[in-house]
Amino acid sequence: MRQSDMAAAIKILKKESIRFETPYLTEVAGEGKDPFRVLVSCVLSLRTKDSTTRAASTRLFEKAKTPAGLSSLAVGVIEKAIYPVGFYRVKARRLRQIANELISRHYSRVPDTMEGLLSLKGVGRKTANLVLTMGYNKPGICVDTHVHRIANRWGYVKTKTPEETEFALRRKLLRRYWIVLNDLLVTFGQNVCRPISPFCSGCRLFRFCARAGVERAR
């Protein structure tokens, strides 16, 4: 994909996304722009299906809506609320630790800088970027498996890891597309540009795509 094609691709992706279910983290971000809810939901979403994240987040937020509320819960209570998200026992301990860190070091407020977010135990660049963009509407590029795969499949970048992809996109992608890219590519990746056997025959972005690494398609 050429740089000049990106504007057209984004326009198409916005139209296409209307046909599909909104990613849960996008819903959370739209519910009052609460960075704490975005942070917690993002931690739960790692290696977990969207539908499972939605249900687990809903159960947990019924018990705790603030760092203080989450810190007051026993780890076992958190585990029960978030099961069956991936690595739920590890995530339960991590969420309680994050809540404690927010209280003790950040006055119960989720940091609004990359450095501050990365200082929290277990928070990586993907989660930090998501909190910045969805929680605070600040510039950032959240690169998950969908963004990494599709950007390389298009031939827009040539990278080996999501972190490399993030920095390549920061250098190449116009800033006005940074925040929306993750949202659009998650939906596109879940429904059309799937990891194995993507739906290339019906893809409206086919003419832009280098189809790098695609061995079988529908």
Encode pLDDT of 101-115 as tens digits: 999 999 999 999 999
Q: What domain count does the chain have?
A: 2
| Structural domain contains residue 126 | yes
Q: Which of 218, 217, 157 is nearest to 185 (CA)?
A: 157
Are 187 and 206 spatial neighbours (Cβ–Cβ below 8 Å)? no
Per residue in 153-173, pLDDT tens?
Answer: 999 999 999 999 999 999 999
203 and 118 assigned to the same domain: no
| Structural domain contains residue 195 | yes
- Round to whole Å and give the CA distance between 38 and 66: 12
- Identity of the residue numbered 125: R
C-alpha distance from residue 208 to each of 14, 41, 58, 156, 171 (Å)? 16, 33, 39, 10, 20
CATH of residue 199 = 1.10.1670.10
196 and 181 assigned to the same domain: yes
C-alpha distance from residue 115 to each of 44, 111, 125, 136, 151 (Å)? 21, 8, 10, 15, 26
96 and 64 assigned to the same domain: yes
Helix extents (H) in 88-213: 88-106, 114-118, 125-130, 136, 145-154, 162-172, 178-191
CATH of residue 83 = 1.10.340.30
| Structural domain contains residue 125 | yes
Mean pLDDT of 30-42: 87
* Tokens, residue 104: 């003790």
- Round to whole Å and give the CA distance between 200 and 173: 24
| Structural domain contains residue 28 | no
Domain hosting residue 180, numbered range: 3-22+141-208
Mean pLDDT of 10-28: 90
Mean pLDDT of 127-152: 95
Last residue of a domain, one of 136, 155, 175: 136
**Is the pTM higher than 0.85?**
yes
